[in-house]
Structure 1
Amino acid sequence: PFMAKEAIPIPIGIVLDLNSSIGSMSNSCIWMAYQDFYERHPHYKTRLALQTRDSRDNVVTAASVAQELLNEKVHAIIGPQTSEQAWFVIELGSKAQVPVISFSATSPSLSSTQKPYFIRAARDDSSQVEAIAAIVQGNGWREIIPIYEDTEYGNGLNPYLNDAFVKIGTRVPYRSVISPGSGGAEISNELKKLKLMSTKVFLVHMSTDLGCKVFLAAKKEGMMTIGYAWIVTEGLSAEVDPMVLKCIGTMQGVLGVRPSPKHTKRLDNFKERYGNTVTIFGLWAYDSVWALAKAVEKVWGENVTATLHNTILATKFHGLSGNFHLVKGQLEPSILEVFNVVEQTERSIGNWMPERGLSKLEQPKWPGNTTEPPAKLRIGIPPTNSVNEFKKFLNFSFDVFFEVLKVLPFPLHYELLPFEKHGETAGTYDELLMQIKEKASFSKYDAVVGDVTIVAKRSEYVDFTMPFSESGVAMLVLAKHDERQNIWIFLKPFSWDLWLTTGAAFIFTGFIVWFFEHRSNTEFRGTPKNQIGMALWFSFSTLVFAHSTFSNTNYMQSL
């Protein structure tokens, strides 16, 4: 009923992996789009003549069937399904000047600026990088390990992730690359290596089949428990690929991002017809057919091969997936939904918008079925010293630490762990710092806060902050007083025993003089006070001058 006698058939090729869940669903959506479009536009003078080919999940086969379609003079190719297949098909399309429209080849390394005849009726994977970086920054994670497959799809996102993590100050200490053909044993060995590292936050970017193997192995290795954090890209969302549901039981506590098409009556009606299992790839496939059909009708009567490409790029309309508007050869970025895997379902906890960034997220449930934030920074506390001055300095170090936390632009989750064993000090400061160096599962600490002296040997295996107090080498000596400022300095020449002896001699001499003189010499008479004073004065005065005549008795003159 849709191929009127006067309609002009325009041959269009389709290359899909028909045995895959995404390929089968997309093929159904393509034919539903074809039917819906010409039911709504029965007066159009052109009709798409769709020719479907199965790539059988093989790069060579995809290139072969694409060349077969080009030989049959198709005006455009919808597909192929994967980024690896797209590389070869795009080359063939460019040589024949035939547009290649893919709704599922999302690797950022595929660019219309390099391959002008490549049109991506989807958003590339780099559109989710800012949302992922916002989640990492919002949780204060300073290190993360990407785990990705060694394919064009997996490797293409790396440069964009690196730039985003550098921008927020998050380190990538290691990258785990897993071959698509890896078995359970190989994946387990790689995860055991990751388990020995101090970083417990992982980002998984891979296809569904390989991603399910990774999470199954992670659960067996005890890495889906408290203390770990996992983020997945949109390819591992059940809303993107329903096959994720077969392993969602191993993904409890995982956070992820996924496209979030706006709910409309038209979309709801379509889902009622097809079923709720339709994913964003199905919607993009649907919209691709509408865009191509609109463009073909516009260039009718002209040189279709020469003008179809530019006409597709200029086509705009409101499709099932949202606004169909190509910017630089691909769909413009739009809202992403943040989800949390809880009990066999993906629960929406927030969203990210290009203009506003990340919204306030609802409380997620982390691996181990806990709401306690994972990946805490384990901070060691040095041995407590019994000297009060050392305790004061240790407390000052923590005062500085807590003040720094107040000005950080992100929340820092941490726990303080004393360096103790059975209630006693577990070792020296050097042994405490070696705990950071080990970077192993038996290592207790990621950092140390306290009165740790910065020395060259320690700097070889740990990084210190800038010093905030001086602790140079000092010598303790007795203080030297200036004796010239002491009014009793005249006593220094003699010892106290000699001064006492001299004083006793003066008193004894004065007594003897008084004893012999007071009866005959009037100067030694008078009140007792005058007599004692005269006796002492006379005895002392003999130190500074000699008395010419002071006594009339022979005894005193001989004395």
Structure 2
Amino acid sequence: MKHEKVQAIIGPQTSGEAEFLANLGDKSQVPVLSFSATSPSLSSSYTPYFVRGAVNDAAQAKPIAALLKAYGWRQAVAICEDSKFKSDLFLYLRDALEEIGSRLQYKSILPTFASEELIGQELYKLMTMQTRVFIVHMSSPLASRLFQKAQEIGMMSKDNAWIISDELAGSLSSMDPSAIASMQGVLAVKTYIPKSQRLANFITRWKHFYSAENTTKFKVPDLNVFGLRAYDMTWVLALAVQKSGTTALPFQQQSTEEEIGNFTDLSNLGISPSGPSILRAILGTTFKGLTGDIRFINGELKASTFQVINIVKEGIRVIGFWSPVSGLSPVAERTQENKKKGYTANMADLRPVTWPGETAVVPKGWVIPTNSKKLRIGVPIKRRYQEFVKVERDPATGRLQVTGFSIDVFAAVMEVLPYSLPYEFLPFADSEGNSAGSYNDMINQVVQGNYDAVVGDVTILVSRSNQVDFTPPYSSAGVSMIVPLQKEKRTKAWTFLKPLTWELWVITTCLFFFMAFVFWVLEHRINENFQGPPIEQLGTALYFSFSTLVFAQRKNAFSILFLFGKFKYFVIDTLIYFLPITV
């Protein structure tokens, strides 16, 4: 800028380089166009002459958060390089995770030139935590050593989930094969570049050009997104210069005589007269590039679609896509179905993943940490109602066994928690294994800090609620009655006989014969109807006894005692028949 009087600059690759040149370009009004500086800390709001020809790192925060939501991970650990340009991503990622109910539990920072020992120490520290979802954002040389060390100590096995950022995913083609081998099962969000015939022709020309310039037998390296962006930004600058009609004009110098000849002074570089017109032309340039539609909004490329990839033995496998409108989707194009669904972030929107350890089982995102402190759960010793809580020891091993309905409910709740919560049961017992007191005494152990919680059939009382917190009731106590179920008889014609028990039938029959005998004794001497052969006398007596309740007797009785007995029999017989029914 001081000697060549450049009108525009293209190519600062790192965010650190871009920041330095952006400040110089802003002082001299020279546009600085970068195709790989992705740090959110670089903004045209502070340095208007800086133009980002890449996607801002902040744009990948929502795709990463969508992955955590899809797989049900509530916590994650960030691993980044010790640079303000790397850690800026996690400021936006923290906000994106809070929107879905997740959070960053811890952020691990590694120096750019960290030793193997330091990397190992930090990974061992992460192993003591329960979270097993790791989000990595760093340069490819440091990431290569990180994943190789992680594989060495066993952190690239099942129950672990790793997600790498777009910058690192774009550098996979240039990484050492041994480093790629240690990254099996890793997920990544990567800028999506739609396939086109123009892109295929360019890659073919690139391979021919590289082979002609390099006579070695090394494999032609694949062009990553940054190489394609560099080509597109070169076209952007060329079109902008052509559109603005800029010619080589000298800078307007503002230095004093004392400062003339001081070629290390960067505070007086002069001002480019064509810089403002070139900047306006760059920001107004739109065309179809190799990487897709080129359009600048607020001094940087418009956020594009990301693809979600899975690193496997066979290479890189695309498992889905993410867009700001549709969220996660198995296809890149926005179909009619996606328009109806709107923004979604579900596991069903992605293809199956091969996770670390070559397993298809989705990691829970947490494990029981090696240095965790277990919750102390008090349980009552009961002699009755052991269906709720039963405490016993295995006579062979002496191991404590706690079972029952309350224990099953507690275990079911712990199972659905999205994080690990180790616990142990402690019986509320004395030295002899008997109950150490009442339920109030057991509740008091929580107040004193001897127990963290109590599980059992504990009744919720006001006095107890003033000391501890209770869960909502999961069972209500009450009195129930069990009765046998009998099949109803459909025939109702003989319902009137139900009150007549067999005892009543026996008594009635005995009275029938008894009254017949009384009638015969009272009447056979004076009434000729009761005289004659014995069989006729028996029939007459039985007939009189039966006809008492049916109709008036056609044969007359002459004995006063007989008439009294007949009335008495009528009254008794009536009571016998109707009394059970009224009761």
Matched position secondary structure for 1:174: strand
Cα distance in 2 for partners of 1:321, 1:400 equals 49
Cα distance in 1 for partners of 2:149, 2:5 equals 48
In 1, are the aligned partners of 2:132 and 2:365 still within 8 Å (CA)? Answer: no
Deviations 1:402-455 (Å, cap 9, x if unpaired)? 8xx6xxxxxx77899895xxxxxx75599xxxxxxxxxxxxxxxxxxxx99994
The corresponding residue for 2:78 is 146
The corresponding residue for 1:343 is 313
Q: 1:268 Cα deviation (Å)?
A: 0.8
The corresponding residue for 2:122 is 190
Matched position secondary structure for 2:103: coil
Cα distance in 2 for partners of 1:268, 1:135 equals 31
Q: TM-score with structure 1 length normalisation?
A: 0.60
In 2, are the aligned partners of 1:377 and 1:415 still within 8 Å (CA)? Answer: yes
The corresponding residue for 1:221 is 153
Which amino acid is 1:226 matched to?
Answer: K
Deviations 1:356-408 (Å, cap 9, x if unpaired)? 11121111111111111213566999688762233333344567778xx6xxx
Deviations 1:74-97 (Å, cap 9, x if unpaired)? 110002110111111111111110
Q: TM-score with structure 2 length normalisation?
A: 0.58
1:209 paired with 2:141, answer yes
The corresponding residue for 1:278 is 223
In 2, are the aligned partners of 1:378 and 1:417 still within 8 Å (CA)? Answer: no
In 2, are the aligned partners of 1:208 and 1:244 still within 8 Å (CA)? Answer: no
| Count of matched residue positions in the alignment of Structure 1 and Structure 2 | 370
1:289 paired with 2:229, answer no
Q: Which moved more, 1:385-394 or 1:140-149?
A: 385-394
| Pair 1:335–1:225, CA change in 2 (3 A) | same
1:161 paired with 2:93, answer yes
Could you tell me which of 341, 355, 362 is aligned with 1:366? 355
| Pair 1:104–1:354, CA change in 2 (3 A) | same
Could you tell me which of 22, 37, 41 is aligned with 1:105? 37
Matched position secondary structure for 1:258: strand
| Pair 1:274–1:77, CA change in 2 (3 A) | same
| Pair 1:297–1:453, CA change in 2 (3 A) | farther
In 2, are the aligned partners of 1:236 and 1:244 still within 8 Å (CA)? Answer: no
Matched position secondary structure for 1:370: coil
| Pair 1:338–1:246, CA change in 2 (3 A) | same
Could you tell me which of 6, 15, 34 is aligned with 1:83? 15
| Pair 1:393–1:81, CA change in 2 (3 A) | same
Which amino acid is 1:177 matched to?
Answer: I
Matched position secondary structure for 1:132: helix
Could you tell me which of 407, 411, 414 is aligned with 1:394? 407
Which amino acid is 2:356 matched to?
Answer: P
The corresponding residue for 1:320 is 290
| Pair 1:312–1:244, CA change in 2 (3 A) | farther
In 2, are the aligned partners of 1:340 and 1:364 still within 8 Å (CA)? Answer: yes
Matched position secondary structure for 1:144: strand
What aligned pairs does 1:123-138 form with structure 2 within 5 A after superposition? 123-138=55-70
In 1, are the aligned partners of 2:53 and 2:300 still within 8 Å (CA)? Answer: yes
Deviations 1:446-465 (Å, cap 9, x if unpaired)? xxxxx999944659989x9x
| Pair 1:374–1:401, CA change in 2 (3 A) | closer
In 2, are the aligned partners of 1:98 and 1:305 still within 8 Å (CA)? Answer: yes
Cα distance in 1 for partners of 2:418, 2:107 equals 24
Cα distance in 1 for partners of 2:160, 2:204 equals 39
Q: 1:159 Cα deviation (Å)?
A: 1.0
Which amino acid is 1:366 matched to?
Answer: W
1:95 paired with 2:27, answer yes
| Pair 1:417–1:147, CA change in 2 (3 A) | closer
Alignment RMSD: 3.4
| Pair 1:200–1:240, CA change in 2 (3 A) | closer
Cα distance in 2 for partners of 1:119, 1:162 equals 26
Which amino acid is 2:353 matched to?
Answer: P
In 2, are the aligned partners of 1:383 and 1:418 still within 8 Å (CA)? Answer: no
| Pair 1:116–1:301, CA change in 2 (3 A) | closer
Matched position secondary structure for 1:218: helix
Deviations 1:466-498 (Å, cap 9, x if unpaired)? xx9836668xxxxxxxxxxxxxxxxxxxxxxxx
In 2, are the aligned partners of 1:378 and 1:416 still within 8 Å (CA)? Answer: no
In 1, are the aligned partners of 2:159 and 2:367 still within 8 Å (CA)? Answer: no
Which amino acid is 1:286 matched to?
Answer: Y
Q: 1:230 Cα deviation (Å)?
A: 0.7
In 2, are the aligned partners of 1:84 and 1:152 still within 8 Å (CA)? Answer: no
1:470 paired with 2:475, answer no
Cα distance in 2 for partners of 1:460, 1:179 equals 43
| Pair 1:204–1:470, CA change in 2 (3 A) | same
The corresponding residue for 1:170 is 102
Cα distance in 2 for partners of 1:193, 1:459 equals 30
Cα distance in 2 for partners of 1:339, 1:427 equals 47
Which amino acid is 1:104 matched to?
Answer: S
In 2, are the aligned partners of 1:239 and 1:258 still within 8 Å (CA)? Answer: no
In 2, are the aligned partners of 1:239 and 1:279 still within 8 Å (CA)? Answer: yes
1:333 paired with 2:308, answer no
| Pair 1:291–1:173, CA change in 2 (3 A) | same
Matched position secondary structure for 1:162: helix
Cα distance in 2 for partners of 1:469, 1:244 equals 64
Deviations 1:328-369 (Å, cap 9, x if unpaired)? 111101111101111151111111011111121111111111
In 2, are the aligned partners of 1:316 and 1:324 still within 8 Å (CA)? Answer: yes
| Pair 1:101–1:289, CA change in 2 (3 A) | same
The percentage of counterpart residues that share the same residue type is: 38
